[in-house]
Amino acid sequence: MERTGIDIKYWTNRGQYTPPHWHGAIELLYILNGEGAVTCDGKEYLVQAGQFIVIDSDKIHEMKCAKVSMMLIIHFSRKRMENY
Protein backbone atom coordinates (compact mmCIF):
# COMPACT_ATOMS: atom_id res chain seq x y z
CA MET A 1 0.00 0.00 0.00
CA GLU A 2 2.85 2.40 0.73
CA ARG A 3 4.23 2.33 -2.81
CA THR A 4 1.00 2.45 -4.85
CA GLY A 5 -1.64 3.54 -2.35
CA ILE A 6 -3.71 0.46 -3.25
CA ASP A 7 -3.97 -2.95 -1.56
CA ILE A 8 -5.99 -5.77 -3.16
CA LYS A 9 -6.97 -8.99 -1.38
CA TYR A 10 -9.11 -11.97 -2.22
CA TRP A 11 -11.06 -13.23 0.79
CA THR A 12 -13.37 -16.13 1.52
CA ASN A 13 -15.79 -15.63 4.40
CA ARG A 14 -16.95 -19.04 5.53
CA GLY A 15 -20.27 -17.91 6.96
CA GLN A 16 -18.83 -15.99 9.86
CA TYR A 17 -19.12 -12.66 11.63
CA THR A 18 -16.44 -9.97 11.33
CA PRO A 19 -16.66 -7.74 14.42
CA PRO A 20 -16.65 -3.93 14.30
CA HIS A 21 -13.39 -2.50 12.97
CA TRP A 22 -12.07 0.33 10.81
CA HIS A 23 -9.29 1.04 8.33
CA GLY A 24 -7.21 4.12 7.65
CA ALA A 25 -7.94 3.53 3.95
CA ILE A 26 -11.12 3.66 1.89
CA GLU A 27 -12.43 0.11 1.44
CA LEU A 28 -14.26 -1.32 -1.55
CA LEU A 29 -15.83 -4.77 -1.09
CA TYR A 30 -16.84 -6.49 -4.33
CA ILE A 31 -18.91 -9.65 -3.76
CA LEU A 32 -17.91 -12.44 -6.15
CA ASN A 33 -20.44 -15.00 -4.90
CA GLY A 34 -22.70 -15.50 -1.91
CA GLU A 35 -24.15 -12.63 0.08
CA GLY A 36 -23.73 -10.77 3.32
CA ALA A 37 -24.71 -7.79 5.39
CA VAL A 38 -22.40 -4.88 6.12
CA THR A 39 -23.33 -2.56 8.96
CA CYS A 40 -21.86 0.94 8.95
CA ASP A 41 -23.00 3.90 11.05
CA GLY A 42 -25.83 1.77 12.45
CA LYS A 43 -27.34 1.02 9.03
CA GLU A 44 -27.30 -2.45 7.51
CA TYR A 45 -26.59 -2.89 3.80
CA LEU A 46 -27.32 -6.22 2.12
CA VAL A 47 -24.83 -7.10 -0.62
CA GLN A 48 -24.83 -10.05 -2.98
CA ALA A 49 -22.84 -11.43 -5.90
CA GLY A 50 -22.07 -8.76 -8.50
CA GLN A 51 -22.54 -5.86 -6.08
CA PHE A 52 -20.04 -3.74 -4.21
CA ILE A 53 -20.03 -1.38 -1.28
CA VAL A 54 -17.59 1.46 -0.52
CA ILE A 55 -16.75 2.23 3.10
CA ASP A 56 -15.04 5.53 3.87
CA SER A 57 -11.81 5.54 5.84
CA ASP A 58 -12.06 5.46 9.64
CA LYS A 59 -15.74 4.37 9.55
CA ILE A 60 -16.52 1.59 12.00
CA HIS A 61 -18.16 -1.32 10.18
CA GLU A 62 -18.90 -5.02 10.62
CA MET A 63 -19.94 -7.86 8.34
CA LYS A 64 -22.11 -10.97 8.64
CA CYS A 65 -22.30 -13.80 6.10
CA ALA A 66 -24.83 -16.60 6.48
CA LYS A 67 -22.93 -18.90 4.12
CA VAL A 68 -19.64 -19.08 2.28
CA SER A 69 -19.02 -15.88 0.31
CA MET A 70 -16.01 -14.83 -1.73
CA MET A 71 -15.06 -11.22 -2.24
CA LEU A 72 -12.42 -8.89 -3.52
CA ILE A 73 -11.30 -6.30 -0.97
CA ILE A 74 -9.56 -3.18 -2.26
CA HIS A 75 -8.12 -0.56 0.08
CA PHE A 76 -7.32 2.88 -1.34
CA SER A 77 -5.08 5.25 0.57
CA ARG A 78 -7.06 8.43 1.24
CA LYS A 79 -3.87 10.49 1.19
CA ARG A 80 -2.87 9.14 -2.23
CA MET A 81 -6.39 9.73 -3.61
CA GLU A 82 -6.32 13.35 -2.44
CA ASN A 83 -3.39 13.87 -4.83
CA TYR A 84 -5.73 13.11 -7.72
User: pLDDT grade, residue 9 (50/70/90)?
Assistant: very high
pLDDT at 80: 80
Residue 55: inside a domain: yes
Q: Using the 8-state DSSP alphabet, how is residue 80 labeled?
A: H
Residue 1: inside a domain: no
**CA dist., res. 12 & res. 65, Å (int):** 10
Strand partners, 44: 39
Residue 10: inside a domain: yes
pTM of the model: 0.85
Report the number of distinct structural domains present in the chain. 1
**Domain at 24, CATH number:** 2.60.120.10
What is the mean pLDDT of the segment spanning 23-43?
Answer: 94
Domain that holds residue 73: 6-82
Contact between 29 and 59 under an 8 Å Cβ cutoff? The reply is no
Residue 44: inside a domain: yes
